[in-house]
Amino acid sequence: MTLNQQRKLKTILTGLFAWTIALVLFFPIFWMFITSFKTELQAISIPPTLFFEPNLDNFRVVQERSDYIQHAWNSVVTSFGSTILALIIAIPAAYSMAFFPGKRTKDILLWMLSTKMLPAVGVLVPIYILCRDYGLLDTKTALVIIFTLMNLPIIVWMLFSYFKDLPKEILEAARMDGATPWDEVVKVVLPLSVGAISSTALLSIVLCWNEAFWSLNLTASDAAPLTAMIASYSSPEGLFWAKLSAASTLACAPIVIFGWFCQKQLVQGLTFGAVK
Amino acid sequence: MTRISKTTLACAVSMTAAISATSAFSATQITVATVNNGHMIEMQKFTPEFEKAHPDIKVKWVTLEEGVLRQNVTQDIANKSGLYDVMTIGMYEAPIWGERGWLEPIDTSGSYDVQDILPSIRGGLSYDGTMYAAPFYGESSMVMYRKDLVKAAGMEINDRDSWEHIRNVAAAVNDPSKGIYGICLRGKAGWGDNMALMTTMANSFGARWFDENWKPQLESAEWKNAVSFYVDLLTKYGPPGSSSNSFNESLALFNEGKCGMWIDATIAASFVTDPKQSKVADQVGFAQSPISVTEKGANWLWAWSLGIPAATKNVEAAQTFVRWATSKEYINLVGNKNGWAAVPTGTRASTYANPKFQEAAVFADAELKAINSANPSDSTLKPSPYVGVQFAAIPEFQAIGTTAGQMVSGALAGSLTVDQALKSANTSADRQMRQAGYY
């Protein structure tokens, strides 16, 4: 086998491997999508039905039963609201830790990350009681605050990793030109980090969109996002797989489309710092 | 149009808008938490009828998965959050929460006709003679079987057959090569899953959860006999992976024509006889649950009910809604609009006396018989201190029942022996009862 052939074979094998992984990961989503067009009987049939006459009945039922627009709006407000709030806090934090590290910076970063290791259910009762006492149960404000706190460590870490790779000389040059710390962040750091910030924001939005634990525990009717809508289609007594699939498809659709348009930034963000 | 008339019109429009806004604002809004069961979903669809009859009340629905609902309503009621005005609860919660003063007593005065509610259901939802939740639909358990398969095997199924006979029928019908299994039963761990069925089996084998001094009795010979029988029956004649099957998995198997028999909630009868859902709708027979040494506690009793948390600020509106949703008039409304096979059953004697319902529901007699035969206050052969057929209505039972369920499920999956499973379950129950101060 010539070197050229070996290279070709390697490319084909790598491609095949990547496609296999991608298909395995995508299969549950594909199955959910086609199940949403089946009847309940077809959805549970064994062996599974592959060829069937698709119908939109399940989507009609979901539209009739749930206020999709309200749930979707709640998801949009909480995901985007918490991401913006988290970025407002995280950008100055990451800036100061990246460019003016103190003795305890590393400890602070590790401590922030350690908060992610605490199981959410461990703080459910105190947070629930706080929300009750401040009248925040079933409000989007509560979810925005919780989501912000939940994603803040990841956002700070991602931005910190990016900021610390920026050449310090650029900031020194700006300072020589009389830039204040505010100017440094707004006029120098932010324009250089648009890619990193947008990919971080995207990741945060996706994490908030998919969050179910707090959404289910802190909301009822007014602030319930799409994850709570999906949960309402599981039934203890009755067949529900097709309708549940339709609800899930509708819940996933906006974020999948959004992610599709932003995939370049997402991949860039997830891989920054990977190759130096 | 002159300027004056334009101004007058604008004023009139604004005033009308303001008045409608004020009247809309003055309407009391109640939030109802419920599960995604067919009857509950139908109730949501009939909300406009309620709001038309009571224009001063607006209803908002929160539908949740059963486990999440339990967690949310427990959180809400225990913390007195007042997030929900009406909540869907079961027969396990109603007396416990009623005793603690967490629920408002149901207003059964006037035309509500509380005497029409089946006595066993009424008793199960009451504490000290006061009803703390109104039943929306009730259920017991019974045998559902394939008449064609049983007949072809030369067997018969009757009310209150012995478990031995059920095993013989399962053996005769079982034909895995054709994808048919003798019997489908719950195996998934959970106090409301496998332990609901397992407890009724154990009751009929003469077992009880606790003795008169609240000592757990899971290591008794009766429990060993019952669990050994269950594990043997399902291992030999049940579908593969039974240890992860609950109501819905068994329903799917039965509707696909893969189960010779299925012993589960009576509510399943309306699903397995519905040709839109079931491939074997015209071949289903019903019989009362099997027994071993006693009939006591051989079939369970449950009711999905509507309760009003004490923390709600809208007690009056909530009472009005609960009385409407659990009334004879509501059942008539559903019967007239959706057909009599679709009405919520298991709650009122008048439903079963209705000729239209008798004609539409082939399972009516079997269901009523099963519900009437269950007695939560006397469900064990030996005396026991607790109320409940398939559970003991004490706060500790959820944890005790779930642990026991995991052990029994483990025994079914083959990872534990029956003796090991029951010993672990008993030790855990004993620890919990000691910690709770029962002895």
* Residues B403, B391 within the same domain: yes
From the CA of B212, how many Å to the nearest CA of chain A?
33
Q: Which amino acid is at A127?
A: I
- Does residue B192 lie within any of the structural domains? yes
pLDDT confidence bin for B65, thresholds 50/70/90:
confident
Chain B residues in contact with A236 by the CB 8 A cut-off are: 35-37, 65-66, 247-248
Residue-by-residue pLDDT tens, chain A, 276 positions = 788 888 899 999 999 999 999 999 999 999 999 999 998 878 877 778 888 889 899 999 898 888 899 999 999 999 999 999 999 999 999 999 999 999 999 999 999 888 888 899 899 999 999 999 999 999 999 999 999 999 999 999 999 999 988 888 888 899 888 889 889 889 989 888 888 898 899 999 999 999 999 999 999 889 999 999 998 888 777 778 899 999 999 999 998 888 888 877 777 666 665 444
Three-state secondary-structure class, residue B211:
coil
Interface membership of B271 toward A (CB under 8 Å)? yes
Q: Are B150 and B156 in contact (CB under 8 A)?
A: yes
Q: Which of B93, B120, B79, B134 is nearest to B398 (CA)?
A: B93
Last residue of a domain, one of B317, B333, B360: B360
* Residues B174, B108 within the same domain: no
Q: Which amino acid is at A183?
A: D
Chain A residues in contact with B256 by the CB 8 A cut-off are: 44-46
The pLDDT of residue B88 is 95
The pLDDT of residue A108 is 92
pLDDT tens-digit profile of B96-108? 999 999 999 999 9
* Residues B213, B293 within the same domain: yes
Range of B423's domain?
141-300+377-435
* Residues B49, B151 within the same domain: no
* Residues B334, B418 within the same domain: no
Q: What stretches of B125-267 show up as alpha helix (H) in DSSP?
A: 147-152, 163-173, 194-204, 221-237, 247-255
Shortest CA distance from B62: residue in chain A: A221
Q: Which of A12, A26, A34 is nearest to A241 (CA)?
A: A34
- Does residue B213 lie within any of the structural domains? yes
Inter-chain residue contact B36 with A234, CB threshold 8 Å: yes
The residue-averaged pLDDT of B223-250 equals 94
> Residue B425 maps to which CATH number?
3.40.190.10
The pLDDT of residue A270 is 62
DSSP state of B382: S
* Residues B115, B208 within the same domain: no
The pLDDT of residue A225 is 95
Inter-chain residue contact B81 with A41, CB threshold 8 Å: no
Inter-chain residue contact B248 with A224, CB threshold 8 Å: no
Q: What percent of chain B has pLDDT over 70?
A: 94
Cα B389 from Cα B370, distance rounded (Å): 12
* Residues B261, B385 within the same domain: yes
- Does residue B15 lie within any of the structural domains? no
DSSP state of B162: B
pLDDT tens-digit profile of B116-148? 999 999 999 999 999 999 999 999 999 999 999
Interface membership of B63 toward A (CB under 8 Å)? yes
The two tokens of residue A73 are: 């709006």
- Does residue B11 lie within any of the structural domains? no
pLDDT confidence bin for B423, thresholds 50/70/90:
very high
* Residues B243, B335 within the same domain: no
Shortest CA distance from A126: residue in chain B: B79
CA dihedral in degrees (B323, B326, B328, B332; nearest 10)?
Answer: 120
Q: Are B116 and B328 in contact (CB under 8 A)?
A: yes
* Residues B400, B279 within the same domain: yes
pLDDT above 90 for B418: yes
Domains identified in chain B, total number: 2
- Does residue B4 lie within any of the structural domains? no
From the CA of B346, how many Å to the nearest CA of chain A?
15
- Does residue B2 lie within any of the structural domains? no
The pLDDT of residue B18 is 45
- Does residue B370 lie within any of the structural domains? no
Whole-model pTM: value is: 0.81
Q: Dihedral of CA B304/B305/B311/B313: which sign?
A: positive
Inter-chain residue contact A224 with B256, CB threshold 8 Å: no
Chain A residues in contact with B65 by the CB 8 A cut-off are: 231-232, 234, 236
* Residues B256, B400 within the same domain: yes
Q: Are B181 and B171 in contact (CB under 8 A)?
A: no
* Residues B86, B211 within the same domain: no
Interface membership of B387 toward A (CB under 8 Å)? no
- Does residue B409 lie within any of the structural domains? yes
Inter-chain residue contact A41 with B68, CB threshold 8 Å: no
* Residues B32, B83 within the same domain: yes
Q: Are B324 and B53 in contact (CB under 8 A)?
A: yes
Inter-chain residue contact B79 with A236, CB threshold 8 Å: no
Inter-chain residue contact A44 with B252, CB threshold 8 Å: yes
